Amino acid sequence: MIPSTFTYQKVNSVEEAIKALSSADSKLLAGGHSLIPTMKLRLSQPSKLVDIGSIAGLRGIKEAGAEIIIGAVSTHQEIASNKIIQSKLPVVAQGAASIGDVQVRNKGTIGGSLAHADPAADWAAVILALDATLAVQGSKGSRKVKATDFFKGMFTTALQEGEIITAIHIPVAAGSKSAYVKFPQPASRFAIVGCAVVKNGEGKINIAYTGVSSCPFRDSGAEKVLAGKKLDAGTIQAASNAAVEGMSILEDHYASEKYRKHLAKVYLKRALSAIA
Ligand SMILES: Cc1cc2nc3c(=O)[nH]c(=O)nc-3n(C[C@H](O)[C@H](O)[C@H](O)COP(=O)(O)OP(=O)(O)OC[C@H]3O[C@@H](n4cnc5c(N)ncnc54)[C@H](O)[C@@H]3O)c2cc1C
């Protein structure tokens, strides 16, 4: 339970962080609530930690035109308690407040969670349903990655070597009617099943899951069932019937494949009922 030896560098800008990352085996440190446990288990053995937690430009939440921009090192707690988020994107506050416990929410960051890409992490479902975009910066410059293109598999994302998530951009119109519900693991609170639903600016309902499969995903099958329809008991049941069909479902000692699939359908029903 003791990590292997590493050096530590605190940086004050994204440019400094990118430079520091260029040395072999360096890793970014944000809240440390995913990285440090893996280092203690020696699943990860970086030779250098580059601490981005104090970069002022990466923290904070602001409204800019039609979107809300969340800095990558904003903690789950800062997001959950932010007034703009609470009034304009309540599903984001809901998702943030459901993460772990007070200590985890006070230290863990949205950027760290997205980069880590734990298949049971809550942020993934929320930002997928919201059609968010991630701003990313590396030695070759900046780029934007759609949330729907970001998650590539278990603990695997579209981030390239040395790239840093700098912010998450969320269209404000996406938040009008939305909900995030989850069946939490009783100790860690990670999602055994987490389901986010969002009625977007055009009135289409986006559905996203975390915890269900090795990679978070948008459920296009269930979304199709609802396309152009009014939400009522019949359409909610039809979407629930179609939910997670054809997906490869995780099975572990918390929940069998059959039980997880059942939960996914029940939680979609709950989420849709909350916005009907
Ligand atoms: C007891 C416990 C309970 C938890 N419960 C939940 C839960 O219920 N739901 C949930 O979703 N999560 C849960 N978590 C995880 C928690 O939310 C973590 O804080 C989060 O997953 C990682 O964020 P971090 O800031 O701590 O990242 P770190 O641990 O600092 O970093 C994680 C990884 O991301 C990389 N990284 C960090 N920031 C960036 C960035 N800006 N750009 C690119 N790469 C970056 C790091 O190099 C590292 O590889 C729990 C954790 C613990 C310890």
Statement: residue 174 has pLDDT above 80: no
Q: Which of 173, 207, 232 represents a domain boundary (last residue)?
A: 173
Average pLDDT score over residue span 165-175: 88
Q: Which of 144, 173, 202 represents a domain boundary (last residue)?
A: 173
CATH of residue 245: 3.30.390.50
Count the Cβ atoms, other than its own, within 10 Å of residue 27.
16
Rg (CA), the chain: 18
C-alpha–C-alpha distance, residues 140 and 180, integer Å: 36
pLDDT, tens digit, for every residue of 180-193?
999 999 999 999 99
Is residue 2 one of the residues assigned to a domain?
Answer: no
In this structure, which residue's CA is closest to atom 39 in ligand 1? 112
44 CA: nearest ligand 1 atom: 49
Average pLDDT score over residue span 89-99: 97
At residue 175 the predicted structure's pLDDT band, cuts being 50, 70 and 90, is low
Looking at the fold, whether 40 and 73 belong to one and the same domain comes out as no
Looking at the fold, whether 32 and 94 belong to one and the same domain comes out as no
Statement: residue 206 has pLDDT above 80: yes
Mutate which of 18, 28, 209 for ligand 1 pocket (most atoms within 8 A of beta carbon): 28
Classify 98 as helix, strand or coil. Answer: coil
User: What's the confidence (pLDDT) of residue 176?
Assistant: 72
Q: CA nearest 47: which of 3, 6, 4?
A: 6
Residue 45 structural domain: 7-51
Looking at the fold, whether 94 and 164 belong to one and the same domain comes out as yes
pLDDT, tens digit, for every residue of 51-66?
999 999 999 999 999 9
Looking at the fold, whether 181 and 167 belong to one and the same domain comes out as no
CATH of residue 104: 3.30.465.10
Count CA atoms within 13 Å of residue 254 on its CB side.
18
CB distance 68 to ligand 1 below 6 Å: no
pLDDT, tens digit, for every residue of 111-158?
999 999 999 999 999 999 999 999 999 999 999 999 999 999 999 999
Looking at the fold, whether 256 and 207 belong to one and the same domain comes out as yes
Looking at the fold, whether 13 and 25 belong to one and the same domain comes out as yes
Looking at the fold, whether 106 and 157 belong to one and the same domain comes out as yes
Percent of the chain with pLDDT over 90: 95
Residue 7: phi, psi to the nearest 5?
-100, 165
Question: 44 or 24: which carries more pLDDT confidence?
Answer: 44
Question: 234 to each of 225, 241, 269, how far by Cα in Å?
Answer: 11, 11, 11
Looking at the fold, whether 16 and 103 belong to one and the same domain comes out as no
User: Is residue 232 within 8 Å of residue 275, measured between CB atoms?
Assistant: no
Q: CA nearest 108: which of 91, 87, 122, 127?
A: 122
CB distance 99 to ligand 1 below 6 Å: yes
The predicted model scores a pTM of 0.97
Q: CA nearest 89: which of 182, 5, 173?
A: 173
C-alpha–C-alpha distance, residues 244 and 104, integer Å: 29
CB distance 210 to ligand 1 below 6 Å: no
Mean pLDDT of the chain: 96
Average pLDDT score over residue span 12-23: 94
Looking at the fold, whether 39 and 125 belong to one and the same domain comes out as no
At residue 24 the predicted structure's pLDDT band, cuts being 50, 70 and 90, is confident
CB distance 190 to ligand 1 below 6 Å: yes
